[in-house]
Amino acid sequence: MNHPVLVLNVIRKSFGEVEVLHGVDLDVMPGEVHALVGENGAGKSTLMKIAAGIHASDGGSMTLMGRPYAPNSPLDADHMGIGMVHQELSLAPDLSVAENIFAGRLPTNGCFVNWQELNSQASRLLADFGLSIDPRTPISSLSIGYRQVIEVLKALASDPKVIIFDEPTSSLEAREATLVLDTIRKLAAKSIGVVYISHRMDEVFRISDRITVLRDGSLVGTWNAADVSRESVVHAMIGREMTELYPDKASAAGDVLLKVEGLTRTGAFRDVSFVLRKGEILGFSGLVGAGRTEVMRAIFGADIADSGAIYLGGVLLDIRSAKDAVDAGIAYLPEERKAQGLFMERSIEDNILCGNIGRCSRRGIVRSVLSRSLALEMCGRLSVKAKSIEQELQNLSGGNQQKVLLARWLAMKPKALIVDEPTRGVDVGAKGEIHRMLREYASAGNGVIVVSSEMPEIIGLCDRIIVLHEGCISGEVEGATASEAQLASLAFGNHSAPH
Ligand SMILES: Nc1ncnc2c1ncn2[C@@H]1O[C@H](COP(=O)(O)OP(=O)(O)OP(=O)(O)O)[C@@H](O)[C@H]1O
Ligand SMILES: [Mg+2]
């Protein structure tokens, strides 16, 4: 009989006055992939940060390979055999694959790095995982999927007993996510215990042996993946029935709202032309790097296009900055929430206020009554889970940070709202809420553009879908009749896509 490698007993954790983990048990067997799921704010990351030595628990105990385990830092946890791979990559872009994998433990001859040894160790590891990457390749020239894989191999260099993954695939498209999932399965095949946190139910069922559900800081249960249905796991997560249905599509297309003609930015995209109609949700699909985000940034004035024209409501716009775009009635919710939008050290209220200062001011002075009521209204509409609107963004769970960003842009009431990966890291329940909000927003006579790497989301949500391939439009399909195969084929540049 196998013994668990890691056991968590009745773990408690409070932040300030608020207890966020109420005595949670979890065990990890060697060689298993153990999925940890739950709504945004359920406590998944916090629980695993305790196991990885990032937070100290306020109650309970842990054992590692049968012995008491109480790491006092992430480094300590790493030395004892527990590694954690976060969603944000920690690789040095200018260093090589080999240097990143063995950072901190480079093989040396005396005081010089033994490059030959380093590269051959890295080659062996890469080959072991079936990866044909030259260990001397700089990280910056790898795709994001391969970078995430290198992140996994880096965790492996310290000979871990358990590796914890916190939403490793949330920014990856299907093909790259598969690469990461395959690598994770190979870790388990080496008898490493894997904890896998994700909101993507299809992936959870694809790779895990057991599934543990947390709800509001408490354990709901642990099941063998083979013995439970997707519906019952979702039910355990959100405590109610949930139909994973998308809102109805637009009944009829309205007048042209946004018209983009021949938009070109050398090296990024070429001759992009399309229209967005009132009442419509228009999807943009394609592989990561196909230029979707670049096109949106150019429409929003974050980058300047070399040529082309943008009209809103029939008026030619001269957009030279994001401010020009906002003034004209275009808003853009970026995909990199931390880098490009949120102020992590500021409160929820401040983050929503930013961008809505005019609305919350009277005679040029911000009125806190107005900004408070706006923040409360928007948090209510999007069910943001937080202690209060004064809470700093950095203390919110990942999915709730995403909702605050969306709240800010919706509050600005733009005519054309562009959202880039709007539900990344958002739980299944909240995802449905965000989809409904976007549909409502479009139905009120506005236009919405959704960029998403999740094909079911694009197909389920959008009225029309434009596919980009290497910076050019490779096709357009109706949301009502689109298939994943058709979108994938267009994404790979095949113009005569099958139906
Ligand atoms: N450093 C902190 N200070 C205060 N509260 C925190 C801190 N970190 C997390 N919390 C709170 O603890 C609760 C659990 O958060 P946690 O990040 O563990 O959720 P999660 O299950 O990982 O959610 P998500 O799916 O959105 O990532 C949330 O209510 C969050 O606001
Ligand atoms: Mg989390």
Architecture of domain 256-491: 3-Layer(aba) Sandwich (3.40)
Distance between CA atoms of residues 271 and 479, nearest Å: 23
- Closest residue (by CA) to atom 31 of ligand 1? 396
Residue with tokens 């096709």: 475
Phi (first) and psi of residue 12, to 5 degrees: -120, 150
Give the model's pLDDT for residue 176. Answer: 80
Q: Closest ligand 1 atom to the C-alpha of 400?
A: 26
Question: Do 6-94+138-238 and 256-491 share a fold?
Answer: yes
Q: Closest ligand 1 atom to the C-alpha of 385?
A: 29
Ligand 1 binding residues, C-beta < 6 A:
15, 20, 38, 40-46, 385-386, 395-400, 427
pTM for the structure as a whole? 0.78
Tokens of 273: 């032309």
Q: Closest ligand 1 atom to the C-alpha of 44?
A: 21
Q: Closest ligand 1 atom to the C-alpha of 55?
A: 1
Distance between CA atoms of residues 487 and 484, nearest Å: 5
- Closest residue (by CA) to atom 28 of ligand 1? 41
> What totals of helices (H) and strands (E) does the chain contain, helices first?
16, 24
Q: Closest ligand 1 atom to the C-alpha of 167?
A: 27
| Beta-strand relationship, 464-469 and 447-451 | unpaired
Residue 397 Cα to ligand 2 middle (Å): 5
Q: Which helix (H) or strand (E) holds 109?
A: strand 108-109
Residue 27 Cα to ligand 1 middle (Å): 21
Strands (E), 348-485: 361-362, 365-366, 416-420, 447-451, 464-469, 472-478
What's the fold here for domain 6-94+138-238?
Answer: Rossmann fold (3.40.50)
Say how far residue 156 (Cα) sits from the centre of its chain: 23
Cα angle 45, 47, 48; round to 5: 65
Distance between CA atoms of residues 340 and 343, nearest Å: 9
Which is nearest to 7 in space by CA: 302, 249, 212? 212
SS3 406: helix
Distance between CA atoms of residues 462 and 484, nearest Å: 13
Give the model's pLDDT for residue 497. Answer: 44
Residue 87 Cα to ligand 2 middle (Å): 9
Say how far residue 215 (Cα) sits from the centre of its chain: 20
What residues in the chain have per-residue pLDDT under 70? Answer: 1, 87-88, 240-244, 337-340, 495-499
Core vs surface per residue 151-184: b (16+ CB within 10 A) or e: bbbbbbbbebbbbbbbbbbbbbbbebbebbbebb
Going from N- to C-terminal start, the domains of the chain cover 6-94+138-238, 256-491
Cα angle 218, 188, 235; round to 5: 30
- Report CA dihedral (300, 303, 305, 306) to the nearest 10 degrees: 160
- Closest residue (by CA) to atom 12 of ligand 1? 20
Residue with tokens 């943009």: 284
Cα angle 342, 199, 478; round to 5: 85
Q: Are 199 and 425 in contact (CB under 8 A)?
A: yes
Distance between CA atoms of residues 354 and 491, nearest Å: 36
- What's the residue count for the chain? 499
Nearest ligand to the CA of 14 is 1
- Closest residue (by CA) to atom 9 of ligand 1? 395
Express each pLDDT in 103-153 by its tens digit.
877 777 777 778 888 899 899 988 888 888 899 999 988 877 788 888 888
Say how far residue 132 (Cα) sits from the centre of its chain: 27
Nearest ligand to the CA of 36 is 1
Provide the β-strand partners of residue 460. Answer: none
Distance between CA atoms of residues 414 and 257, nearest Å: 12
Residue 272 Cα to ligand 1 middle (Å): 41
Q: Closest ligand 1 atom to the C-alpha of 401?
A: 26
Distance between CA atoms of residues 131 and 119, nearest Å: 14
Residue 316 Cα to ligand 2 middle (Å): 43
Q: Are 83 and 52 in contact (CB under 8 A)?
A: yes
Residue 164 Cα to ligand 2 middle (Å): 12
- Report CA dihedral (74, 79, 85, 86) to the nearest 10 degrees: 10
Residue 178 Cα to ligand 2 middle (Å): 21
Residue 108 Cα to ligand 2 middle (Å): 38
